[in-house]
């Protein structure tokens, strides 16, 4: 059974802990990473959430700590794990406690949005493993309630997302607090140039482990897209959930207001739903997640940032209520399902104004997503393409549709261009520090002021949820609506 974990070199206490969790086989990332980490190597690992990466670094770290057990000095930390979000920090620390339950290893977690005083108390006597988000950790550094000069192992978990969220400066400030000699482990779903640059400055002679090809969706996830008009998405979602008897559904929206509104409407429809996003208090987020895990909340509506790293075992259904405008986020989203060997189901409700996003996603996946029209919810009839797109002159670098594209794509709306819509990220994604956020992708070419003025003029007006508003007079808008 768990002798496979034993043959990786793990101590009996850890083998027992994974057996308690019901794991019988190490996942590929675990088979590859555990011996390397036990050997003290630095590691650059490409692994998405859902691959078992948390146990992949937690198990060998616990073993190394136990093998060289000593009481940490007050306020010091032996292992520092940095994560981009509060939820992921909480989940990683929970994993540390789960896998370390037969060992005498102390752990703590610190993140923003909750009181700092209990965290100060937890750090006071020193901890073996500290899991932290960068902003709050730096608050502790500033208040001298933590001492990072004794860190033996540093883990950057979901490093790509930390860079996307503009944490690079915070990461550098944390690195400046660490001793030179230490083991470094960097986990990232993608290997962008920025990640490679970060790795280059951080890792010494790293071993590289890659368990899934870059941005590859899990083969266990069946993906389907339903074309539908924007106005009828909620109705379609309600019917899919009710008629399919889906018991646990994670629904993604792009904006926080959208998440709230959708959860409210689904509740009115008789489906127990909760929203989770950065404007919610930590308590509300934890309650929503707990309800979702225990089955009292059937539908969890989340924004990308809030859902990042959510560890919900065997989540059967993920719905893209709105497609993400960053194609990689689609892969992250559907990675919530089809985890650790169980099959998953990812559904996207796509309105005609999102076809450009769909095209980008299919290009990234290198295959079309199966299109399935739900009878009664047909969309995409002539005239349903947003009015602005028909009026706007084509952009100079407008891309042509891929030959394999399964549907006729609308022109990409100007606001959908990568980078514009992404920044600012939802509030919870922004580090609180005063520095300007780091751009997530290579900077766009500099533009002349005339150029940007022209772009500004063309940019359509949007409502509070970021939806395109028509610039036409109300009477004409009504005429168009009637014509659809």
Q: How many residues bind ligand AMP (CB under 6 A)?
A: 16
Window 248-277: residues binding ligand AMP (CB under 6 A)? none
Handedness of CA 288, 325, 192, 33 (dihedral sign): positive
Q: Are strands 77-82 and 153-156 parallel, antiparallel or unpaired?
A: parallel
Strand partners, 183: 153
Contact 123, 137 (CB under 8 A): no
Output the CA–CA distances (angstroms, integers) from residue 74 to 78, 151, 152, 153, in the order listed: 11, 13, 15, 18
Nearer to ligand AMP, 57 or 321 (CB): 57
User: Minimum CB separation from ligand AMP for residue 47, in Å?
Assistant: 7
Nearer to ligand AMP, 149 or 342 (CB): 342
- φ and ψ of 392, to 5 deg: -75, 135
Q: Kindly state whether residue 78 participates in binding ligand AMP, applying the rule CB under 6 A.
A: no
Q: Kindly state whether residue 313 participates in binding ligand AMP, applying the rule CB under 6 A.
A: yes
Residue span 35-54 as binding mask against ligand AMP, x where in contact by CB under 6 A, dash where not: --------------xxxxxx
| Structure letter (DSSP) for residue 148 | -
Nearer to ligand AMP, 101 or 173 (CB): 101
CA 388 from chain centre, in angstroms, equals 31
Residue span 1-40 as binding mask against ligand AMP, x where in contact by CB under 6 A, dash where not: ----------------------x-xxx--x----------
Nearer to ligand AMP, 6 or 260 (CB): 6
Nearer to ligand AMP, 97 or 392 (CB): 97
User: Minimum CB separation from ligand AMP for residue 285, in Å?
Assistant: 18
Nearer to ligand AMP, 110 or 211 (CB): 211
Contact 333, 307 (CB under 8 A): yes
Strand partners, 273: 299
Distance (Å, rounded) from C-alpha 115 to C-alpha 299? 29
User: Minimum CB separation from ligand AMP for residue 310, in Å?
Assistant: 9
Distance (Å, rounded) from C-alpha 342 to C-alpha 455? 46
Q: Show the tokens assigned to 127.
A: 């901890």
The string of DSSP codes covering 6-33 is HHTT--HHHHHHHHHTT--S--HHHHHH
Q: Kindly state whether residue 340 participates in binding ligand AMP, applying the rule CB under 6 A.
A: yes
User: Minimum CB separation from ligand AMP for residue 314, in Å?
Assistant: 8
Strands of the sheet containing 221-227, edge to edge, are 273-276, 299-302, 249-252, 317-320, 344-350, 221-227, 370-371
Among 93, 152, 311, 329, binds ligand AMP (CB under 6 A): 311
User: Minimum CB separation from ligand AMP for residue 49, in Å?
Assistant: 5
User: Minimum CB separation from ligand AMP for residue 18, in Å?
Assistant: 7
Contact 166, 437 (CB under 8 A): yes
Nearer to ligand AMP, 95 or 385 (CB): 95
Q: Kindly state whether residue 85 participates in binding ligand AMP, applying the rule CB under 6 A.
A: no
User: Minimum CB separation from ligand AMP for residue 167, in Å?
Assistant: 20
For 101, the enclosing helix (H) or strand (E) is: none
User: Minimum CB separation from ligand AMP for residue 278, in Å?
Assistant: 21
Nearer to ligand AMP, 55 or 153 (CB): 55
User: Minimum CB separation from ligand AMP for residue 188, in Å?
Assistant: 13
| Footprint of ligand AMP (CB under 6 A) | 23, 25-27, 30, 49-55, 311, 313, 339-340
């Amino acid at each position: 059974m768990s002798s496979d974990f034993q043959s990786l070199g793990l101590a009996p206490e850890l083998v027992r802990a994974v057996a308690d969790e019901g794991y019988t086989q190490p996942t590929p990332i675990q088979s590859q990473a555990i011996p390397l980490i036990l050997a003290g190597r630095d590691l650059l690992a490409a692994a998405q959430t859902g691959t078992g990466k948390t146990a992949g670094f937690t198990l060998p770290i616990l073993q190394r700590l136990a093998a060289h057990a000593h009481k940490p000095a007050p306020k010091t930390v032996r292992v520092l794990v940095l994560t981009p979000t509060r939820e992921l920090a909480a989940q990683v620390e929970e994993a540390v406690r789960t896998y370390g339950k037969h060992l005498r290893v102390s752990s703590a977690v610190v993140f923003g949005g909750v009181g700092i005083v209990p965290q100060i108390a937890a750090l006071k006597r020193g901890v073996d493993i500290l899991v932290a988000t960068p902003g709050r950790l730096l608050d502790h550094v500033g208040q001298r309630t933590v001492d990072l000069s004794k860190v033996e192992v540093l883990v950057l978990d979901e490093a790509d997302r930390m860079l996307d969220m503009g944490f690079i400066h915070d990461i550098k400030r944390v690195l400046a607090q660490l001793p030179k000699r230490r083991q470094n482990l960097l986990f990232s779903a993608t290997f962008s140039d920025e990640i490679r640059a970060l790795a280059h400055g951080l890792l010494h002679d790293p071993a590289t482990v890659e368990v899934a090809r870059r941005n590859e969706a899990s083969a266990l996830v069946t993906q389907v897209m339903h074309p539908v008009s924007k106005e009828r998405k909620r109705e379609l979602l309600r019917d899919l959930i009710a008629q399919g008897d889906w018991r646990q559904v994670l629904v993604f929206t792009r904006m926080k207001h959208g998440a709230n509104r959708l959860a409210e409407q689904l509740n009115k429809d008789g489906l127990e739903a909760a929203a989770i996003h950065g404007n919610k208090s930590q308590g509300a987020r934890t309650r929503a997640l707990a309800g979702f895990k225990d089955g009292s909340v059937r539908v969890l509506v989340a924004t990308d940032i809030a859902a990042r790293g959510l560890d919900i075992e065997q989540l059967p259904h993920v719905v893209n209520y709105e497609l993400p405008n960053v194609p990689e986020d689609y892969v992250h989203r559907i990675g919530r399902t089809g985890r650790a060997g169980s099959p998953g189901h990812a559904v996207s409700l796509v309105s005609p104004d999102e076809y450009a996003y769909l095209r980008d996603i299919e290009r990234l996946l290198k295959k079309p997503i199966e299109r399935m029209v739900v009878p009664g919810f047909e969309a995409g009839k002539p005239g349903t393409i947003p009015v602005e797109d028909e009026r706007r002159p084509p952009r100079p670098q407008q891309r042509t549709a891929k030959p394999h594209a399964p549907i006729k794509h609308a022109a990409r709306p100007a606001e959908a261009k990568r980078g514009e819509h992404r920044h600012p990220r939802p509030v919870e994604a922004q580090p609180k520090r005063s520095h300007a956020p780091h751009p997530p992708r290579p900077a766009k070419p500099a533009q002349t002021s005339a150029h940007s003025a022209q772009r500004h003029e063309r940019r359509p007006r949007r409502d509070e949820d970021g939806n395109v508003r028509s610039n036409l007079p109300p009477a004409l808008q009504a005429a168009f609506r009637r014509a659809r």
